[in-house]
């Protein structure tokens, strides 16, 4: 990307502005150095208009296509997520997946944002230019692509044998024997451009899915996207196979390393159990109670008399039993006799997942946003996707994990022992809360139908940081996993207090090339925001920003999404001018403290081109020492 490209797009934006109705104009903000196209396209003068958000987003993307970097002969193809994300302020976001000839372009998606009054305010994300027509003629069959993907996953690189999870336990690759494996298609949808196919599992843990996708290299490359599951969701991989020559273009691990009463550990297994009413009172979540809740909320946690409910099915192992309670005076009571046994683990993982479901419901992660429920109770979204929460009697790969598919399919949570301490992750709320948050971010960032929205290095790192952030926010703590590993500093390098030593400037250096470490800087920043403006407003801004974010955001993209969420609360009347000014100053101080001031830069969501800025914008003064 050079000055000529920026000049060309600037001229295109001027021409687009002249063609728009009324006083509307478009203005290019930040550029995406990986595509050479605008990462942010602001819209000025758009009229307030309620409704028709998806149709308006598509119409807008088509109207501004030249400013977005589409080639002259390249049609602006997008597939919209039908679920419109709504922030607590009333601001909305529509997520669009870029297509070319009806086939998704990997990593190319835009988010069109609307103010609370319905006016389009900007679009953010990534678009890929196709200068020359590309043919849809895969030379590699889907069966051959799956075979090559299977062989690649079955023979991991040498460095994969040396990896450990954040708890210090081995992440030895799950073995799979693909000798003699002949992929066999059981269903093929040949009427769709991306040729989605389902194949027999063979030696894998679930049916294999594959489809065509465009992969942006030096030029747009047609490829097969293959989804392979090992064991019972021990591991899951997305493998991109070149449809021309069969080379492996990408391989990415997807699994991320919980009326009645229950006797549960509220925070962790080092405390006494407490007999708690199910569901807990909404006031106990420490959040404001929204005015738009259904009158019957909180919904019941349990169905009949077991640790099975609308938002979670808790049980032992992969297909083991759940926990049955005892009916007493029309109330189901769960009171395991062994405080550290199998039944207690099932109960605690059930309790933690239900707490998180209601906590995030209050923050706006509901049915239409892709939350986890068996029955959506007529409130929108796709149902049949409550959390499948599994407690294991031994270690599991990754120690504690969460795998989250698209809306309408259940995420799988797996909790196991930490061998060095003999303690179980199902008894540590910070661990379960962290894993649950993976499900929330996977559903909200880029929309509930985009399963590739947190894959770039900064993006996946923030996925880990968000998990730590919500665990620390709920527990009013500065550490994660301290009880389960029996270490005061927990499972991270430093406590998340005001003395956290590293910043945005350290990304891509030292240990800050690994996603959990990258996430520490993001979590430390968000907790600093909490300290500046209070955790109630802080966590609401974080969740609203997730909804407004484009797919595969950088730290700076998410910084800007937080400011967009804050601005929406002002324009909707949820904050006064004075409250907004105080919060704006506090958020800027937090970001500047960690090197994400107004002049910070990076090469998109990658770890190159990092330029930190510790200064504040004009008009905002640092706090006095």
What CATH architecture applies to the domain 459-625? Answer: Orthogonal Bundle (1.10)
Burial class (CB in 10 A: 0-12, 13-18, 19+), 258: buried
CA dihedral over 266, 416, 231, 165, signed as positive or negative: positive
pLDDT tens digits for range 257-267? 436 999 999 99
> In sequence order, what DSSP letters do the residues of 354-391 get, joined into one string?
HHHHHHHHHTT--GGGT---S--TTSSS--S--EEEEE
pLDDT tens digits for range 504-563? 999 999 999 999 999 999 999 999 999 999 999 999 999 999 999 999 999 999 999 999
CA 68/CA 13 separation, integer angstroms: 8
DSSP conformational letter for 158: G
Burial class (CB in 10 A: 0-12, 13-18, 19+), 93: buried
pLDDT tens digits for range 552-599? 999 999 999 999 999 999 999 999 999 999 999 999 999 999 999 999
Rounded average pLDDT over 160-176: 64
CA 228/CA 523 separation, integer angstroms: 31
CA 282/CA 362 separation, integer angstroms: 9
Instruction: Output the pLDDT for position 170.
Output: 62
Instruction: Output the pLDDT for position 292.
Output: 86
Of 562, 505, 519, 512, nearest to 537 by C-alpha is 562
More confident residue, 235 or 134: 134
More confident residue, 174 or 423: 423
Q: Which CATH number applies to 301-427: 1.20.1630.10, 2.40.160.10, 3.30.300.30, 3.10.170.10?
A: 3.10.170.10
Burial class (CB in 10 A: 0-12, 13-18, 19+), 598: middle
More confident residue, 554 or 291: 554
CA dihedral over 600, 604, 606, 609, signed as positive or negative: negative
Helix locations, 445-548, DSSP H: 457-475, 482-485, 515-533, 535-548
Q: Residues 6 or more apart from 158 whose CB is under 8 A from it?
A: none
Domain range summary for the chain, segments of one domain joined by +: 3-125, 142-253, 301-427, 459-625
The backbone region for 246, taken as left when phi is positive above 0, alpha when psi lies in -120 to 50, beta otherwise, is left
Of 434, 386, 396, nearest to 268 by C-alpha is 434
DSSP conformational letter for 183: -
pLDDT tens digits for range 301-354? 998 789 999 999 999 998 889 999 987 766 889 999 999 999 999 999 999 999
* Per-residue pLDDT at 256 exceeds 60: no
In what helix (H) or strand (E) does residue 326 lie, and over which residues does it extend? Answer: strand 326-328
Q: Which residue has the tokens 């069959």?
A: 141
Instruction: Output the pLDDT for position 442.
Output: 96
Instruction: Output the pLDDT for position 258.
Output: 32
For residue 602, the Cα-to-chain-centroid distance in whole angstroms is 21
* Per-residue pLDDT at 298 exceeds 50: yes
pLDDT tens digits for range 181-190? 999 999 999 9
pLDDT tens digits for range 98-146? 999 999 999 899 999 999 999 999 999 999 999 999 999 999 999 999 9
Instruction: Report the chain's mean pLDDT, rounded to a whole number.
Output: 93
- Give the rounded percent of residues in the chain with a pLDDT score beyond 70: 95
Lowest mean pLDDT among 6-20, 98-112, 226-240, 354-368: 226-240
Lowest mean pLDDT among 7-16, 234-243, 477-486: 234-243
Q: Please, which residues bridge with residue 252 across strands?
A: 238
Q: Please, which residues bridge with residue 121 across strands?
A: none
**DSSP helix, strand, coil percent of the chain (3-state; round to 5):** 30, 20, 50
CA 162/CA 366 separation, integer angstroms: 40
């Amino acid at each position: 990307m050079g000055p000529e490209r920026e000049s060309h797009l600037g001229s295109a934006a001027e021409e687009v502005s002249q063609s728009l109705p009324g006083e509307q104009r478009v203005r290019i903000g930040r550029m995406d150095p990986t595509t050479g196209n605008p990462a942010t396209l602001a819209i000025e003068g758009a009229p307030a208009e309620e409704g028709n958000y998806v149709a308006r987003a598509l119409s807008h993307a088509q109207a501004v296509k030249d400013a977005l970097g589409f080639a002259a002969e390249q049609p602006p193809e997008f597939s919209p997520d039908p679920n419109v994300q709504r922030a607590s302020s009333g601001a909305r976001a529509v997520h669009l997946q870029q297509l070319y000839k009806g086939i998704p372009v990997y990593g190319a998606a835009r988010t069109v944002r609307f103010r609370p009054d319905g006016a389009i305010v900007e679009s953010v994300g990534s678009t890929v230019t196709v200068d020359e027509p590309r043919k849809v003629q895969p030379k590699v069959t889907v069966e051959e692509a799956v075979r090559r993907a299977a062989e690649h996953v079955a023979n991991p690189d040498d460095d994969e044998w040396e990896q450990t999870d954040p708890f210090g336990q081995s992440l030895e690759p799950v073995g799979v024997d693909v000798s003699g494996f002949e992929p066999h298609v059981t269903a093929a949808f040949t009427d769709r451009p991306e040729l989605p196919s389902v194949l027999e599992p063979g030696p894998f843990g679930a049916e294999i899915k594959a489809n065509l996708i465009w992969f942006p290299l030096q030029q747009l490359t047609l490829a097969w996207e293959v989804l392979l599951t090992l064991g019972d969701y021990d591991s899951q991989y997305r493998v991109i196979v070149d449809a021309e020559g069969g080379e492996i273009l990408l391989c990415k691990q997807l699994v991320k390393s919980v009326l009645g009463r229950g006797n549960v550990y509220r925070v962790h297994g080092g405390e006494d159990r407490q007999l708690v009413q199910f569901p807990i009172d909404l006031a106990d979540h420490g959040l404001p109670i929204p005015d738009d809740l259904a009158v019957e909320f909180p919904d019941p946690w349990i169905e009949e008399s077991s640790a099975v409910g609308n938002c979670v099915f808790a049980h032992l192992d992969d297909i083991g039993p759940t926990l049955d309670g005892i009916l007493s005076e029309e109330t189901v009571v769960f009171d395991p006799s062994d405080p550290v046994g199998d039944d207690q683990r099932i109960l605690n993982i059930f309790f933690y997942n239900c707490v998180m479901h209601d906590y995030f419901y209050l923050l706006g992660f509901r049915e239409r946003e892709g939350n986890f429920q068996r029955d959506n109770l007529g409130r929108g979204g796709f149902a049949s996707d409550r959390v499948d929460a599994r407690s294991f009697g031994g270690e599991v790969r990754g120690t504690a994990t969460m795998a989250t598919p698209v809306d309408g399919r259940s995420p799988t949570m797996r909790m196991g022992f930490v061998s060095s301490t003999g303690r179980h992750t199902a008894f540590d709320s910070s661990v379960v809360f962290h894993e649950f948050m993976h499900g929330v971010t996977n559903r909200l960032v880029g929309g509930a139908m985009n399963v590739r929205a947190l894959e770039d290095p900064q993006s996946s790192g923030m996925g880990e940081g968000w998990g730590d952030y919500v665990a620390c926010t709920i527990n009013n703590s500065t550490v994660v996993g301290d009880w389960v590993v029996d270490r005061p500093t927990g499972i991270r390098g430093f406590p998340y207090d005001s003395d956290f030593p590293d910043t945005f400037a350290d990304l891509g250096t030292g240990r800050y090339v690994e996603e959990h470490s990258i996430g520490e800087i993001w979590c430390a920043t968000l907790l600093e925001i909490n300290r500046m403006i209070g955790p109630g407003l802080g966590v609401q801004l974080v969740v609203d920003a997730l909804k407004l974010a484009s797919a595969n955001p950088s730290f700076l993209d998410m910084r800007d999404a937080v400011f967009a969420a804050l601005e929406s609360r002002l324009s909707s009347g949820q904050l006064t001018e004075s409250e907004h000014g105080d919060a704006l100053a506090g958020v800027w101080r937090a970001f500047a403290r960690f090197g994400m001031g107004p002049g910070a830069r990076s090469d998109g969501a990658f770890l190159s081109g990092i330029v930190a800025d510790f200064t504040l914008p004009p008009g905002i003064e640092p706090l006095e020492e």
